[in-house]
Amino acid sequence: MKNKKSIIILISIILTVIAIYIIIYFSSLGYNLKSETYEYNGNNYKIKLGVPKLSFMKKRNDKNFSYKNIRNTKILKREIASYLNTLEKKNCNNTTYYYDRNNNFTILDYSVNNKFIYNTISYSVYYSDLCKTEAIIANKNKLGNTTGIYTINGGTVSIQEEWDIKFDGTFMDNSKVIDTKNGYKFKANLNIYLAIRTPDKKFDTKYLEMSRGTYEIKDDKLYYYRENIEQQSDDINIPKVSVFKIEGNTLILQNNYLEKYQKNIIFKSPTIK
């Protein structure tokens, strides 16, 4: 009788455990934002990953984080999808990534792999905005200029040189990137000026144009969009957009609005003579 009661109690416990497991297995509980440490270029950064609740046994390997969870695979995938929907979708390299702007990191890949008893949730991450980094690299490769500075005739004036009026200018990428719905644009400054020799053998500067704006590259053309014209000569009409043809390390102005001052406007990298 005593043994029978013990067996009944044991069976009851087993059935209760099974029932609890089934309830947990099919429960949708959402996710928690878990703080993790990510090492990048020798520095440690804090990020927050959306991890389904009741996850355990966190493992970290370089840029990868993994967790175990006993709940249903489909439910876990829905909870991760819910988390990813709070992030920004970024498309580059023919791939969709997820960018967390608040914590400044990108989810490169994620997965939920089913095991016999549990599921493994995995994230692969990259600190910073991967697509922005790729855009900057691609931009520099297209320009063939890592400095982001171009000049017409050197960009500097020497009073030792023999001249009365010198035409010069600079186009400068100021290292700021604007994130738009259609991609990335880069901040730039464009200065065109005349250096005029004075009787005391010094010089005055007359700005034909001093503007600030953004640019983007399409195929072999650079499109400069003016946002603010700070100085402008009265005898020229400055367009809202200027197009430059990229040839090697040079930018050749198309539709030259400065033709009365110089027939061909070619900006060169300082390394190109």
Q: Where are the domains of the chain?
A: 27-128, 133-268
Give Dmax over CA atoms of the chain in angstroms: 122
Pair 188, 224: CB distance under 8 Å: yes
CATH architecture of 133-268: Beta Barrel (2.40)
What average pLDDT score do residues 226-230 get? 97
DSSP letters, the chain, are -HHHHHHHHHHHHHHHHHHHHHHHHT----EEEEEEEEEETTEEEEEEEEEETT-EEEEEETTEEEEEE-S-HHHHHHHHHHHHTTSEEEEETTEEEEEETTTTEEEEEEEEEE-SS-EEEEEEEEES-HHHHHHHHHHHHHHT-SS-EEESS-S---TTS--SEEEEEEEEEEEEEEEETTEEEEEEEEEEEEEEE-TTS-EEEEEEEEEEEEEEEETTEEEEEEEEEEEE-TT----SEEEEEEETTEEEESS-TTTTT-S--EEE-TT--
pLDDT band at 158 (very low <50, low <70, confident <90, very high): low
If you compute the radius of gyration of the chain from its CA atoms, what whole number of angstroms results? Answer: 31
Indicate the pTM of the whole model: 0.76
Residue 57: pLDDT band with limits 50, 70, 90: confident
How high is the pLDDT of residue 153? 76
pLDDT of residue 273: 47
Question: Which of the pair, 80 or 46, is modelled with greater confidence?
Answer: 80
**Residue 163, pLDDT score:** 56
Assign domain 27-128 to a CATH class: alpha beta
pLDDT in tens, 204-227: 788 999 999 999 999 999 999 999
pLDDT for the residue 63: 86
Q: pLDDT tens digit string along 97-156? A: 999 999 999 999 999 998 878 899 999 999 889 999 998 888 888 887 767 888 887 655
pLDDT at 41: 78
